[in-house]
């Protein structure tokens, strides 16, 4: 089996390279084969300077006509040169921290450069282009070349070579899908698809390969979902709960009334918890729609009925925020909570004290992270489990938490807007509540969609907001240099911002590859206003509540799904101050700008997700995935909606004819599930 073979068995992968692969979670040959390209590069023929269009990656051949000059801006060295083509047209080349090129680029010499073209006023600029000889470029021309997610020190070429060798270990007969499915739906074999994903001959082959792997992902996901249906079937309500004076009094005292949508959902929660069957409900609502107050009401009703409730958040910072918010409510309104906080970073003594309060029933509300499900935690009467941003938790974590009680009520919350047609497939028979309106007191966010030439103005605006005591987020799609030549990355961008913003502005970065303790520290410092500008990947979309943040700027906005951009936008506009969202697109093509303009016309996440669904066809596979919340490697529920529906029908047909998956036809599928028991396939019904 290839999955048992360590990656350093591959020729050319020594200890050092294996350690680099480990940084991107590639430890075995199987991991490497599953490390699919994040996109593909086509090396088109060089064009003349007058033909190049801003926002596109292109190749230009010409002569260096101005002596490269190097200037220093703080700790950044900037080298500028001028390239002139046969027509006499010129383009500026700009290189960051590459002063040695001054000796390489000779005035009068001919060179071929390839990179992202940008327009600055009347001038065309190419920043950080790659340099080729004419012969080197011709070898690449006309091919689809895979580009992988990398880390510093690991090159694309190294990964390509290693993958090609890894595929030799991969059994040609490897197939997971039952023959009954394969006979009905014509598609590539698993082995063909894997090979073509890494090294496609052409775009058609690539699309066929991707469709096969995405179908497989959806199929296994939905099969797990349907197989666990019994767990979500109507189970007896062991903890019947009824409204008491506590929730009524709390609602009367709140400084704001519930919206119509909130009142409707609160009615559904009360009904569920008092019915003969245990609650199993999901609340969907935009960021800021008021899901948390409904969770607090449900937990208060649980406490008032003499039981324990638990609330699990995806990050420590968010858990602490929930704890502080609820502690504030206790102080202000005298509600019947006896809360305890439980997180991984607490001292052993603090944890022991928390365990004792939970086990004795002294604590009737437990707020924390996955620390809530540690073996040492024993509950006295766990009757309600609330998970905030449920997609951030793996299946096993949720199963473990449910096992801590005797079939407790389950409430999950999500800010991910999913069109109804897809929600039915993804959530099965889980009851879904939707909060489809925002509180009346929220100021609408002001949006603008602009090209890269707007950047200097955006930086000025951020500096102005910081000077007024506010904070800002800047989102980049990549983590570090080397991952992509045409996309902004947080590490370099942070340096760039430090160079252009006033020295008094504190800039820091945040990304998913950081150690949890470092991520927590950064988020805490940002929440405490010690950081003014936070440069981050999309890891921030489930983050902290920072009412003081008023600017959200997104680089390479064209590469994100609209639903994800809307999620990110929800990080600002949470306080009393006017908030702004700046979407910067490197492509100023008419279709791109029109698509992004949808965000200007609507603040309704569900409408935006539906519009995105219409706009992003199955051929659009080169954007940054927006539905990572469902733990798919390649699949995107928006782009691949038709494949999701097809996989759903195939699963239903299979389970109709073979509900126990006991036939010979499903043998390989059963083996696959046995091998991948810990795979992060999400099951929304087994918290």
Label the pairing between strands 471-475 and 533-536.
parallel
Task: Measure CA 293 to chain center.
Answer: 25
Check whether 159 has a pLDDT greater than 90.
Answer: yes
Residue 666 dihedral angles phi and psi, to the nearest 5°: -105, 15
The closest alpha carbon to 506, from 487, 488, 522, belongs to: 522
The answer to whether residue 616 scores a pLDDT higher than 70 is: no
pLDDT at residue 487 above 60? Answer: yes
Helix (H) or strand (E) run with residue 157 in it: helix 156-166
DSSP string, 558-609: GGS-HHHHHHHHTTS--SSS--EEEEEES---HHHHHHHHHHHH---HHHHH
Quote the pTM value. Answer: 0.66
- Map residue 285 onto helix, strand or coil: strand
pLDDT at 622: 45
Q: What's residue 678's pLDDT?
A: 42
CB 126 within 8 A of CB 113: yes
- pLDDT tens sequence across 36-52: 998 888 888 899 998 88
Over range 172-183, report the average pLDDT.
87
Residue 377's H or E segment, with its range, is none
Per-position b or e across 346-380, b if 16+ CB within 10 A of its CB: beeeebeebbebbeeeebbbbbbbbbbbeeebebe
Could you tell me how many helices (H) and strands (E) the chain has, helices first? 24, 21
d(CA 426, CA 638): 12
Name the pLDDT band for 258 (thresholds 50, 70, 90): very high
pLDDT at 618 over 70: no
Check residue 229 and give its pLDDT. Answer: 57
Q: Which band of pLDDT confidence, cut at 50, 70 and 90, is reported for residue 144?
A: confident
What value does the mean pLDDT take over residues 261-280?
A: 93
pLDDT per residue as tens digits for the range 367-401: 998 788 777 889 999 999 898 765 444 444 545 66
Contact between 542 and 314 (Cβ < 8 Å): yes
From the list 598, 552, 599, 594, the residue with the least C-alpha distance to 573 is: 552
Residue 681: pLDDT over 90: no
Among the ranges given (84-88, 118-122, 377-381, 483-487), the one the predictor scored with the smallest mean pLDDT: 483-487
The two structure tokens encoding residue 41: 């590069």
Token digits of residue 153: 């020190």
Instruction: Please give the Cα distance from 99 to 323 (Å, whole number).
Output: 51
The torsion angles phi and psi of 410, rounded to 5 degrees, stand at -125, 125
Alpha carbons 422 and 1: distance in angstroms, whole number: 36
Helix axes 316-333, 245-253, angle to 10 degrees: 90
Coil, strand or helix: which one is 3?
Answer: helix
C-alpha angle 463-464-470 in degrees, rounded to nearest 5: 85
Q: In 381-441, which ranges are continuous DSSP H helix?
A: 395-403, 420-427
Dihedral sign computed on CA atoms, order 141, 146, 152, 155:
negative
CA dihedral 374, 376, 381, 382 (to 10 degrees): 0
Instruction: Return the percentage of the chain with pLDDT > 70, whole number.
Output: 89
- pLDDT score at 405: 67
- Stronger pLDDT, 215 or 482, i.e. the higher one: 215
pLDDT of residue 234: 63
Mutual orientation of helices 641-657 and 203-227 as an angle, nearest 10°? Answer: 50
Return the residue matching tokens 């389970």: 655
Structure tokens, 676: 């991948």
259 C-beta neighbours (distance < 10 Å), count: 17
Arithmetic mean of pLDDT, 305-312: 94
What average pLDDT does the chain have?
84
Residue 620 has pLDDT above 80, yes or no: no
Q: Centre a 10 Å sphere on the Cβ of residue 161 and count the other Cβ atoms it contains.
A: 15
Whether 408 has a pLDDT exceeding 50, the answer reads yes
Distance (Å, whole) CA 384 – CA 239: 9
Strands 280-285 and 409-414: parallel
* DSSP code per residue over 448-474: EEEEGGGHHHHHHHHHHHHHTT-EEEE
Task: Give the pLDDT of residue 420.
Answer: 66
Of the listed ranges 259-263, 357-361, 452-456, 579-583, the one predicted with least confidence: 452-456
pLDDT greater than 60 at residue 335: yes
The Cα 580–Cα 552 span in angstroms is: 6
Is the per-residue pLDDT at 498 higher than 90? yes
pLDDT category at 403 given cuts 50, 70, 90 is low
275 pLDDT exceeds 50? Answer: yes
Q: pLDDT band at 625, cuts 50/70/90?
A: very low
What is the phi/psi pair of residue 433, to 5°? -110, 140
Of the candidates 104, 79, 107, 103, which has an alpha carbon nearest to the alpha carbon of residue 93? 79
Q: Looking at residue 2, what is its pLDDT?
A: 46
Quick one: which of 432, 431, 433, 426 has its CA closest to 681?
426
Confidence of residue 481 (pLDDT cuts 50, 70, 90): low
pLDDT at position 686? 28
Could you report the per-residue pLDDT of 311-324, keeping only the tens digit for each? 988 888 888 889 99
Write the pLDDT tens digit of every residue in 281-299: 888 887 778 889 999 999 9
Q: What is the mean pLDDT of residues 357-376?
A: 90
Q: What is the token pair recorded at 579?
A: 């908030």
- Check if the beta carbon of residue 155 is closer than 8 Å to that of residue 149: no
Highest mean pLDDT among 252-261, 478-487, 557-566: 252-261
Say what the pLDDT of residue 673 is: 74
Smallest CA-to-CA distance from 559 within 550, 551, 548, 568 is with 568
- Dihedral of alpha carbons 528, 530, 533, 536, sign: negative
Burial class (CB in 10 A: 0-12, 13-18, 19+), 681: buried
How many Å apart are CA 425 and CA 173, to the nearest integer?
31
**Residue 3 reports pLDDT greater than 70:** no
- Which structure tokens are listed for 1? 């089996």
Q: What percent of the chain has pLDDT over 90?
A: 42
pLDDT at 341 (0 to 100): 96
Mean pLDDT on 357-363: 95
Highest mean pLDDT: which range of 73-77, 462-466, 630-634: 462-466
For 71, the token pair is: 């200037």
């Amino acid at each position: 089996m290839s999955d048992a073979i360590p990656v350093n068995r591959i020729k050319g992968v020594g200890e050092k390279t294996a350690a680099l692969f480990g940084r991107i979670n590639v430890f075995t040959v199987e991991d490497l084969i599953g490390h699919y390209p994040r996109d593909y590069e086509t090396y088109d023929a060089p064009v003349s300077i007058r033909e190049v269009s801003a926002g596109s990656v292109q190749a230009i051949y010409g002569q260096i006509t101005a002596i490269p000059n190097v200037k220093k801006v703080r700790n950044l060295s900037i080298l500028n040169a001028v390239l002139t083509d046969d027509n006499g047209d010129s383009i500026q080349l700009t290189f960051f921290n590459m002063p040695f090129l001054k000796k390489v680029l000779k005035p009068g010499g001919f060179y071929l450069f390839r990179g992202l073209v940008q327009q600055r006023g009347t001038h065309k600029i190419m920043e950080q282009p790659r340099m080729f000889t004419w012969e080197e470029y011709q070898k690449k021309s006309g091919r689809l070349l895979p580009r992988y997610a990398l880390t510093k020190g690991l090159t694309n070429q190294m990964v390509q070579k290693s993958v090609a060798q890894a595929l030799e270990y991969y059994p040609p007969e490897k197939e997971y899908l039952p023959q009954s499915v394969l006979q009905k739906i014509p598609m590539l074999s698993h082995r063909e698809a894997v090979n073509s994903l890494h090294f496609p001959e052409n775009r058609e082959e690539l699309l066929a390969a991707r469709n096969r792997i995405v179908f497989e992902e959806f199929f296994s996901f939905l099969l797990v979902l349907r197989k666990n249906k019994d767990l979500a079937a109507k189970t007896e309500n062991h903890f019947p709960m009824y409204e008491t004076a506590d929730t009524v009094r709390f609602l009367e005292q709140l400084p704001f009334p519930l919206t119509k949508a909130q009142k409707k959902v609160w009615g559904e929660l009360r009904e569920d918890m008092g019915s003969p069957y245990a609650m199993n409900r999901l609340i969907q609502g935009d960021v800021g729609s008021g899901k948390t107050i409904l969770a607090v009401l449900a937990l208060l009703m649980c406490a008032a009925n003499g039981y324990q409730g638990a609330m699990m958040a995806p990050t420590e910072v968010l858990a602490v925020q929930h704890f502080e918010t609820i502690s504030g409510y206790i102080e202000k309104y005298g509600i019947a909570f006896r809360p305890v906080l439980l997180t991984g970073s607490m001292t052993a003594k603090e944890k022991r004290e928390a365990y004792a309060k939970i086990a004795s029933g002294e604590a009737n509300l437990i707020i924390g992270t996955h620390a809530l499900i540690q073996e040492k935690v024993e509950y006295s009467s766990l009757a309600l489990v609330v998970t905030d941003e449920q997609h951030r938790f793996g299946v096993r974590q949720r199963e473990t938490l449910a096992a801590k009680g005797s079939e407790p009520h389950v409430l999950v919350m999500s800010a991910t807007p999913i069109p109804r047609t897809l929600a039915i497939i993804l959530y099965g028979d889980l009851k879904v509540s939707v909060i489809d309106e925002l509180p009346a007191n929220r100021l609408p966010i002001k949006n603008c969609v602009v090209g890269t030439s707007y950047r200097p103005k955006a930086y000025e605006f951020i500096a102005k907001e910081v000077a007024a005591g506010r904070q800002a987020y800047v989102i980049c799609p990549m983590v570090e240099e080397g991952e992509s030549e045409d996309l902004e990355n947080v590490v370099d961008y942070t340096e760039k911002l430090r160079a252009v913003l006033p020295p008094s502005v504190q800039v820091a970065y945040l990304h998913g590859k950081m150690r949890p303790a470092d991520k927590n520290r950064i988020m805490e410092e940002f929440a405490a206003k010690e950081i003014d500008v936070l440069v981050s990947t999309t890891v921030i979309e489930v983050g902290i509540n920072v009412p003081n943040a008023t600017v959200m700027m997104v680089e390479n906005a064209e590469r994100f799904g609209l639903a994800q951009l809307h999620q990110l936008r929800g990080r600002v506009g949470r306080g009393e101050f006017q908030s702004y969202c700046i979407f910067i697109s490197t492509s100023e093509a008419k279709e791109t700008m029109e698509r992004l303009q949808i965000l200007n016309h609507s603040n309704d996440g569900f409408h935006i997700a539906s519009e995105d669904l219409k706009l992003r066809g199955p051929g659009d596979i080169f954007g940054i995935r927006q539905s990572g919340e469902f733990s798919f490697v390649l699949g995107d529920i928006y782009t691949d909606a038709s494949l999701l529906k097809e996989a759903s029908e195939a699963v239903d047909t299979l389970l109709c004819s073979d509900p126990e998956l006991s036939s010979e036809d499903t043998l390989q599928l059963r083996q696959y599930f046995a091998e991948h028991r810990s795979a992060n396939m999400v099951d929304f019904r087994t918290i």
